[in-house]
Amino acid sequence: MSEKILTRNFDRPDGHSLAVYRETGGYAALEKARAMEPAAIVDEIKKSNLRGLGGAGFPTGMKWSFIPKDHQGPVYLVINADEGEPGTFKDRYLLERDPHALIEGMIIAARAIRAALGFVYIRGEYVEPWRRFSAAVREAYDAGYLGTGFDIVVHRGAGAYICGEETGLISSLEGKKGWPKVKPPFPAIKGAFGAPTIVNNVETIACVPHIINRGAAWFASLGSKTQGGTRLYSVSGRVNRPGVYEESCSITLRELIERAGGVSGSGRLKGVVPGGSSAPILAAHEIDVVMDVDGLRNAGTMAGSAGVIVFDDTVSVPEALMVVARFYAHESCGQCTPCRESTGWIYKMCHRIVDGHGRKDDLDTILDVAKRGAGTTICAFYDGAVGPYISYIEKYRSEFEALCRS
């Protein structure tokens, strides 16, 4: 088991309070960072091999360095707390149980990118996490950590998965419907309210104080060669002890499932979705993979949000795909034709197959339609939908065929 870093106060009932945070070394990193030049902070984060933990796995220090050096006007820091990727729940834990790690990380990140204002975009359904986090922000104001060169606005979303996509989130923060925008320009050049903006996930920024406190080399050594740190794996589905597990990025999927008490139900594994519902599924024989960004990419899937969903061999993959396809059909923002049309159509086809009215050729048609649209859309939502469509059908084709009439 890895040393507990992000989760060290999770088990304490008062772990979210400023008192406990300080008592366990909180806000010491901030003092250290205040003595550092912004460029030195960016450098430290680069050396730590911290990679974005919201989905895309982009190196955080490098992202911060994209803010134009000669920029005069405001720069914003936006925290993505719109957690919505099916199978993921770790940001909820961080907001409720260690809110000051996010606040301290934000103040340090803001110094690095020279932002005076930060937004935390919390999904609308997260009422309790919003209350908890807002209370922590008030504590930080009262203690003088905030309001002295950096301010935080806590913003509530209103229900739309697509607002988790960073440009959709920015549209929504601007008071519009959450339509993703064409990139480039990237947010670091032209983001929220037209200003250079860094969007980072809650967990990514919660790592920052620890890196500053204990050094980039230490953080890098916790993980794999190309990804530093531990991360929070959300494990659910058919396991004996579902929950948040903090483990090294170099853990294998097999080990992780064991940590979560092993496979429940029949006890026999059928497959695992390793990085939230948009990550292609891995079959039972593919679980010796290392759970870092590159390991999962090489295995043909993705680390995504580290939401691990386990299927035992009693799960019907076609039914599971129908459930997943319904989600993508419901959440497509509708801007791009392939995404809008294909997600709706594929959901209907999955329904038809599960109802016993499908034909074997339908499977090839679904694969063909799915592949044709991939890579052509404004945002990565559609590629995320295509991941499960293709992998579920290709890896479990006989199960689909068994349901087909002809």
Partner 1 sequence: MRRLQSLYPDKRGALLPVLHLAQDTFGYVSLEVEEYVASLFLLSPAHVHEVVTFYTLYFREPKGRHVVAVCHNLSCYLAGARPILAHIEARLGIEAGQTTDDGRITLQSVECLCACEAAPMMQVDDRYELDLTPDKVDHILEGLR
Residues engaged in binding ligand FMN (CB under 6 A): 52-56, 58, 80, 82-85, 162, 164-166, 199-201, 204, 379-381, 384
3-class DSSP assignment, residue 317: helix
Give the footprint of ligand SF4 on residues 165-184 (CB under 6 A). Answer: 180
Structure token pair of residue 90 = 């770790």
Q: Is 162 in the site for ligand SF4 (CB under 6 A)?
A: yes
- Considering only residues 242 through 281, tell me which ones interact with partner 1, judged by CB under 8 A: 242-244, 273, 277
Considering beta carbons, is residue 26 or 180 the nearer one to ligand SF4? 180
Alpha-carbon span 84 to 159, nearest angstrom = 9
Of 44 and 98, nearer to partner 1 (C-beta) is: 98
Give whichever of 100 and 238 is closer to partner 1, judged by the CB atom: 238
Q: Which listed option, ligand SF4, ligand FMN, partner 1, none, makes contact with residue 97 (CB within 5 to 8 Å by class)?
A: none
- Across the beta sheet with 117-122, the strand order is 151-156, 117-122, 76-81, 197-201
C-alpha to C-alpha distance for 213 and 31, rounded to whole angstroms: 10
Give residue 394's Cα distance to chain centre: 26
The nearer residue to partner 1, 45 or 329, going by C-beta atoms, is: 329
Q: Establish if 340 lies at the interface with ligand SF4 (CB under 6 A).
A: yes
Q: Distance (Å, rounded) from C-alpha 379 to C-alpha 404?
A: 33
- Coil, strand or helix at 353: helix
Choose among 29, 108, 117: nearest CA to 73.
Answer: 117
Taking the least distance from each CB to ligand FMN, the nearer of 94 and 257 is 94
- Smaller CB distance to ligand SF4: residue 263 or 333? 333
Distance, CA of 351 to CA of 142 (rounded, Å)? 54
Checking phi first, is residue 55 left (phi over 0); if not, alpha (psi -120 to 50) or beta? left
Q: How far is the CB of 250 from ligand FMN (least distance, A)?
A: 19
DSSP assignment string, 81-134? E---STT--HHHHHHHH-HHHHHHHHHHHHHHHT-SEEEEEE-TT-HHHHHHHH
| Residue 340 touches which of ligand SF4, partner 1, ligand FMN, none (Cβ within 5-8 Å per kind) | ligand SF4
237 vs 265: CA distance, rounded Å: 10
> Is the alpha carbon torsion for 226, 227, 229, 230 positive or negative?
negative
Determine if 114 is a binding residue for ligand SF4 (CB under 6 A): no
Interaction partner, residue 155 (ligand FMN, ligand SF4, partner 1, none; CB < 5-8 Å by kind): partner 1
Give the angle 169-200-113 at the CA atoms, nearest 5°: 115
Of 53-61, 71-79, 86-94, 333-341, which segment contacts ligand SF4 by CB under 6 A?
333-341
Distance CA 294, CA 290 (A): 8
Q: Which stretch binds ligand SF4 (CB under 6 A): 108-116, 214-222, 330-338, 393-401?
A: 330-338
Residue from 113, 253, 296, 378 binding ligand SF4 (CB under 6 A)? 378
Structure tokens belonging to residue 118: 């930060």
Hey, what's the torsion of the CAs at 365, 371, 376, 380, to 10 degrees? 120
Pick the piece of the chain touching ligand SF4 (CB under 6 A) from 97-105, 126-134, 292-300, 377-385: 377-385
Q: Which of residues 42-101 bind partner 1 (CB under 8 A)?
A: 74, 76, 83-89, 91-92
- Partner in contact with 248, chosen from ligand FMN, ligand SF4, partner 1, none, beta carbon below 5 to 8 Å by kind: none
- Whichever of 199 and 222 has its CB closer to ligand FMN, that residue is 199
* Alpha-carbon span 93 to 1, nearest angstrom: 19
By C-beta, is 369 or 380 nearer to ligand FMN? 380
Residues that bind partner 1 (CB under 8 A): 74, 76, 83-89, 91-92, 117, 123-128, 153, 155-161, 172-178, 192-193, 195, 234-238, 242-244, 273, 277, 307, 309, 311, 315, 319-320, 323-324, 326-327, 330-331
